[in-house]
């Protein structure tokens, strides 16, 4: 069957040609503006998922669209065999967010690739092979990144593929890390806030302790900022909330190019000095189009007051939700940093909230079955937050909770 994709109506038959790796909702979004998206039947929604923390500038942001169109009109792709001006500019802009001089950047196309590169670089720079990663973490679906993802459900059926020299520490516990790290450890992988794991924000100074402990052992810290980076938490990198935290490698993807695929692995000067030509590569990584988009995203995110505004809006959402659910026994916690927020409920209530919100035109995501995750575009407006909160209020006042509150 030949698909003429513009005119062909997507039917179960056409959809069934897609490999069955995703549990998909039967809905297709065809247009967006700001935080609003429209589905193929013309229904309107406020999107608090943003392509899973990707569409930080929302939809159809004029600066992003014009950067992409202008670049597409001149050249979309060349090759890393040649100089790419947008890439060089982007690399120096990203390196400027590190806390010391001399950082270098390798570009790829996704978060998993950025982490995969990070591990290769850490092995090369240290000559060691052991990794310490965190329980409940998520770092990607390639063989190596799956191996350092601390959630067993993702390993199922692929155990034979897993890299074995990985030790697991309890996320948020410096004590637990102390027991696992030693002079054979090449790197510690850590998310500054666990995203897929249910929006878990570690305690004060935890990340600083991680980097201090690693340094004492000659171990590198890979800070996975794939979900948290590019202003999501109100700082360019979430780990910058802790002044003493000094990672050696930082990985990025998701929001960096506002919706075009990109990954970036930032390495300190001393890690960079161990990497030689040919050690790693990518056909598409950092191509002219994706890096033009990323530069446009940075123009907006780095503009004066933008990240402070993210923090303010995040506080408004968190405090609003805490008020709405303060008497609701089925809500265990409202937590988050900036515009990365988790509403921890029992799983039945989380599913109920998601479908109640959807019926009223709000898109939210549930992770870990019991955490409603909100990662809206960073450009979300105060009025949109208010209307989301009034929808949440309507849910809280009408929802009849039938299960025991402890039932995750």
Ligand X SMILES: Cc1ncc(COP(=O)(O)O)c(C=O)c1O
Residues that bind ligand X (CB under 6 A): 110-112, 115, 138-140, 191, 195-196, 224, 226-227, 253
Q: Give the span between the Cα atoms of 168 and 225, in whole angstroms.
A: 19
Closer of 149 and 211 to ligand X (Cβ): 149
Q: How far is the CB of 2 from ligand X (least distance, A)?
A: 31
Rg (CA), the chain: 21
Q: Give the span between the Cα atoms of 367 and 371, in whole angstroms.
A: 5
DSSP letter assigned to residue 260: B
Closer of 38 and 154 to ligand X (Cβ): 154
Beta bridge partners of 47: 363
Q: Give the span between the Cα atoms of 36 and 154, in whole angstroms.
A: 32
Q: How far is the CB of 224 from ligand X (least distance, A)?
A: 5
Q: Give the span between the Cα atoms of 396 and 187, in whole angstroms.
A: 44
Q: How far is the CB of 196 from ligand X (least distance, A)?
A: 5
3 state DSSP class of 149: coil
Closer of 116 and 384 to ligand X (Cβ): 116
Q: Give the span between the Cα atoms of 359 and 261, in whole angstroms.
A: 31
Longest dimension (CA), the chain: 62
The CB-nearest residue to ligand X is: 111
Closer of 111 and 285 to ligand X (Cβ): 111
Closer of 107 and 395 to ligand X (Cβ): 107
Q: Give the span between the Cα atoms of 67 and 65, in whole angstroms.
A: 5
Q: How far is the CB of 18 from ligand X (least distance, A)?
A: 17
Closer of 52 and 405 to ligand X (Cβ): 52
| Kind and range of the H or E run holding 55 | none
3 state DSSP class of 186: strand
Closer of 151 and 347 to ligand X (Cβ): 151
Contact 111, 146 (CB under 8 A): no
């Amino acid at each position: 069957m030949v698909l003429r994709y513009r005119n062909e109506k997507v039917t179960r038959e056409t959809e069934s040609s897609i490999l069955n790796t995703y549990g998909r909702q039967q809905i297709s979004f065809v247009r967006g503006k700001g935080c609003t998206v429209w589905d193929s039947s013309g229904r309107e929604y406020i999107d608090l998922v943003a392509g899973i923390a990707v569409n930080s500038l929302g939809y159809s942001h004029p600066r992003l669209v014009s950067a992409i169109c202008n670049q597409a009109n001149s050249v979309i792709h060349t090759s890393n065999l040649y100089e790419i001006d947008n890439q060089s500019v982007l690399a120096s802009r990203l390196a400027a967010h590190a806390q010391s001089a001399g950082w270098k950047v390798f570009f790829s196309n996704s978060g998993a690739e950025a982490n995969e590169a990070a591990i290769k670089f850490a092995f090369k720079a240290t000559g060691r092979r052991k990794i310490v990663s965190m329980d409940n973490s998520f770092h990607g679906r390639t063989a190596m990144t799956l191996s350092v993802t601390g959630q067993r459900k993702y390993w199922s059926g692929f155990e034979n593929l897993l890299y074995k020299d990985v030790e697991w520490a309890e996320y948020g516990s410096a004590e637990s890390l102390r027991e696992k790290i030693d002079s054979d450890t090449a790197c510690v992988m850590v998310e500054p806030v666990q995203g897929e794991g249910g929006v878990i924000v570690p305690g004060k100074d935890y990340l600083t302790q991680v980097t201090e402990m690693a340094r004492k052992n000659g171990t590198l810290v890979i800070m996975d900022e794939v979900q948290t980076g590019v202003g999501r938490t109100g700082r360019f990198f979430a780990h910058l909330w802790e002044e003493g935290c000094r990672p050696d490698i930082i990985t990025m993807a998701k929001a960096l190019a506002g919706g075009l695929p990109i990954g970036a692995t930032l390495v300190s000067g001393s890690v960079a000095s161990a990497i030689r030509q040919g050690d790693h590569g990518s056909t598409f990584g950092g191509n002219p189009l994706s890096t033009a988009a990323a530069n446009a995203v940075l123009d907006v995110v780095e503009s004066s007051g933008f990240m402070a505004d993210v923090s303010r809006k995040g506080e408004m959402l968190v405090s609003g939700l805490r008020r709405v659910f303060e008497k609701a026994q089925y809500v265990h916690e409202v937590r988050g940093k900036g515009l990365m927020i988790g509403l921890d409920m029992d799983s039945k209530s989380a599913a109920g909230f998601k479908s109640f919100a959807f019926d009223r035109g709000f898109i939210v995501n549930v992770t870990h079955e019991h955490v409603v995750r909100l990662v809206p575009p960073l450009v979300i407006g105060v009025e949109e937050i208010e209307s989301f909160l009034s929808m949440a209020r309507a849910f809280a006042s009408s929802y009849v909770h039938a299960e025991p509150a402890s039932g995750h």
